[in-house]
Each structure stands twice: as structure tokens, then as C-alpha cells.
Amino acid sequence: MRRRNGAALETATFATAVQHIDAVERKPLYHWRPGSRLLTLAAPGCSLRCGYCINYRLSQFGRSGGEEWTGQPADPASIIELAAENGCAIGFSYTEPSLAIELTLALAGLGGPRGIPVLWKSNGFMTPEAVAMVAPVVRAMNIDVKASDDRAHRKLTGGALTPVFETIAALRAQGVWIEISTPLIPGTSDSPEQLATIAHTLADIDAAMPWHLLRFTPTFQMAGRSNPSLPADLAQAREIGLRAGLKFVYIERALGADGRDTRCPGCRQTVVERGIWSTETVHLSGGRCPHCEYRLEGVWE
């Protein structure tokens, strides 16, 4: 995060407000080394201002609202040592990691030779130059797609939608493993038409990118102004994604195993079983379905 504060230029780039260990499934990333542990960090700030942001105290730090934040300096060498001691990869989440791209580059430079990868949860609102910087160093990314058209995206987030899809396509083309999250936001990404538009756009980029449909819970500026998503809406959204040709469509916290488990696109047998934000059993062998030999897209080992 960078800002002008009166006559001063301020940055909070080598800083983190979060440092804890959690599972890769919580990002959510379901097709990247299931069961991996992540040392998760969050540098303050975000390039968007979503009206429903659940992490607004961290993400909106530095804006005029004067949100309080109690971060600590982030020393890359110490972070890598801590990750190594705990057998973790590095994960960025809760805020927008592209605003602290120097921290990612430093961690990747130190951690790469030691086999400690960096993963992101991102809003995808990046320039092509930023994409070119991170593509060689970030191994996997979950990116939000929050709307089906530019006008709705600008109204919800303050930013354009086109750069998000361009980021997804560019990173995927350069070999970064990408999964997508879409919260069912009322009026923006919850109607069958809006969901179908998003799903077809994703399928045109790469139908093997897992699509996570998230239950919407109104917070921040949308608190009290709309209702949480219903399980039936999530089930319908999942069907829309599958009909659009997406191979893997997931729902967390609704529909039980049907929303969490992976079925082989070749034979529809269950090949990965998950609990809530955890992987329980992977039935793949070398990434292949044991029933039909289909090679499931993802990074499994």
C-alpha cells in the first residue's frame, strides 16, 4: 500500500497484519497440492473497495475512512525460516497482495531455492506489467470474479472488470495454476444470466479452472441491505457452471460432499473427498483417475 499523507509519502509494503498457519483449501485452492499448509500473511490495503468486504478493516487501511490497523514489520528472511520450520508454503490472503508485490518478490527469491512456493488470493485487478512480474514467482492463485459486466463491477468495487479477466487469461497462459471465486452478490453475480455469462467467459479461457461459488453474507456497507445466499441458489449456480462446460464447480458451506468433492470429468466417479476446508482422501494416482485414467488438471503432488 502506498499513499500520500499530507506532504509525506507512506508505504506499508514490508508489513503484515496477519501471520498464521492454515490449509490451502481455505484460500480456496482445491487442485494445488491438497492438504498443504500455508503460512498466511496479509499486507494492508486493497486496490478495490467492495461494498461487502468482510476484511474491510485491513483492506481499506490507508483510505480516508481512517480504518485502524495494527500491522508488524515483515522480515522476509524470518518469514521463510518460520515457513520452513513448519513445512509451509507462503500464502497471501485477506487483502490485495499486488499492492505489496515487493514482499512477494523477496519471499519468492529466498523461498524458491528452498522449495517454499508463494500463493496468492487476489482480486486480479492488475496491470499487464504487474502480471509479468508475478507470473514467474507465484505458483497458484485464487482470483475473484465478482460481476458479469463492467458497470456492475465498477459500482460494486470501484474498478473495471476487463483487467480481471485479462489477468486470469495471462496468468493461466503462463502456467500459473488458477482457481476462481465468485460470491453470489445480489444484483451483481446472483442471477442465472449473470452467472452464465461469468461461467462462459471462464470456460472460454480454460474450462479446467475450478470455479468456487461462495455463499454471500452481507457485511461492511451492504450489512442489513440484503440477505445471505440460499443453498438452493448455490445449487442452481453450480448447475449453470457445469452446463457452461466448466469441469470443476465447488460450493463450500452448503450442499455437503456434493459441493466439495471432485468428480472425474471423464467418468464422474468421486476422486477427491473433502471435509470443510480440508482434503480427506485423494484417490488419484500420479494425478490420474483410478477408474478411467483421465489426467485431472491441477498440481497434485
The residues that touch ligand SF4, with contacts defined as CB under 6 A, are: 46, 48-50, 53, 55, 59, 95-96, 123, 157
Give me the amino acid identity at 179. E
d(CA 188, CA 124): 17
In whole angstroms, give the CA distance from residue 44 to residue 230: 32
Answer yes or no: is 53 a known binding residue: yes
Angstrom CA distances, 77 to 81, 101, 130, 293, stand at: 6, 16, 23, 42
CB of 175 to ligand SF4, least distance (A): 24
**Between 55 and 226, CB nearer to ligand SF4:** 55
Is residue 46 a known part of a binding site?
yes
Least Å distance between CB 188 and ligand SF4?
A: 12
Nearest one of 130, 63, 134, 60 to 92, comparing CA atoms: 134
| Least distance to ligand SF4, CB of residue 96, Å | 5
**Least distance in angstroms from the C-beta of 63 to ligand SF4:** 10
- Residue 297: C-alpha distances to residues 90, 129, 206 (Å): 22, 27, 11
Which C-beta is closer to ligand SF4: that of 61 or that of 294? 61
In angstroms, what is the minimal distance from the CB of 205 to ligand SF4?
A: 20
3-state helix, strand, coil in the chain (%, to 5): 30, 25, 45
Q: Would you say 48 or 240 has its CB closer to ligand SF4?
A: 48
Q: Which is nearer to ligand SF4, 50 or 119 (CB)?
A: 50
Cβ–Cβ < 8 Å for 13, 2: yes
The H or E element spanning position 234 is helix 231-243
Identify which of residues 183 and 259 has a Cβ nearer to ligand SF4 in the complex.
183
Tell me the binding residues for [4Fe-4S] cluster. 46, 50, 53
Tell me the binding residues. 46, 50, 53
